[in-house]
Amino acid sequence: MNAMALTKTALIVGAGDATGGAIARRFAREGYATCVTRRSLDKLQPLVAQIEADGGQAHAFACDARKEEEVVALVEQIESTIGPIEVLVFNIGANVPESILTETARKYFKVWEMACFSGFLNGREVAKRMVARELPQGAHRGTIIFTGATASLRGAANFGAFSGAKMALRALAQSMARELGPQGIHVAHVVVDGAIDTEFIRSNFPERYALKESDGILNPEHIADTYWMLHSQPRDAWTHEIDVRPWSEKF
């Protein structure tokens, strides 16, 4: 058998310094070749170095997830040179608050492109590959996980663009789950509700960050454990939507 065919591959779109990076490290620890993307290749180098230092395998790609031609080329390159993509995690945020009175059409559209349209492009391209695999009847062909937010469920003041995009992404995930589930593809949507332990929260919201000492903000490593759990589920008990939040978060 071709050695490449044995390479379990996970694609993490939006592998940032917090949640995305933690998800990549989690799958790498489980023996997956982790393919991580951001628009800037340089920003991925510390993550790749850390995964490799821990004994894992990682590949970095610069890709604008909003550009169809770049996404098509990315998936083709991974499938032809690294291995079949068994897991796709779409983890692009685009949380940019703005009053509806001052929101511009350009920024509103950009938020939608980042948080929703790019999810469609990446989900479609990977799903096409998963469905085409020749596997035994009833086999698990792969997992596609979309990262959602509080805005996926309700629209807060000043979050018209972000809420609209995240709600649309949630609807996309539901539609894909209903179409692709019977074909052996597990599609899941994770609602991440609450502040995450990031440099942005530490620098801009010190009072909120202080809650870390009492487990009041989300640990990216623990979020990543949830993603691994979803991928590991038997198909007779697949979860489509799950929410993760600190014990103290109001909802």
- Show contacts of 100-103: CB within 8 Å, 24+ apart: 100/158, 100/160, 103/160, 103/161
pLDDT of res. 163: 96
Give a yes or no: residue 222 inside a domain: yes
Asked whether the beta carbons of 149 and 196 are under 8 A apart, the reply is no
pLDDT digits (tens, 9 = 90+) for 151-210: 999 999 999 999 999 999 999 999 999 999 999 999 999 999 988 988 888 888 899 899
Residue 2 has pLDDT above 60, yes or no: no
Give a yes or no: residue 12 inside a domain: yes
Q: Residue 131 belongs to a domain with what CATH number? A: 3.40.50.720
Q: Which domain holds residue 201?
A: 6-244
Number of domains comprising the chain: 1
Give a yes or no: residue 1 inside a domain: no
Give a yes or no: residue 172 inside a domain: yes
Written as one string, the DSSP assignment of 158-209 is TBHHHHHHHHHHHHHHHHHHHHHGGGTEEEEEEEE-S-BS-HHHHHH-HHHH
Give a yes or no: residue 251 inside a domain: no
Strands (E), the chain: 9-13, 33-38, 57-62, 85-90, 142-149, 185-192, 241-244
Give a yes or no: residue 62 inside a domain: yes
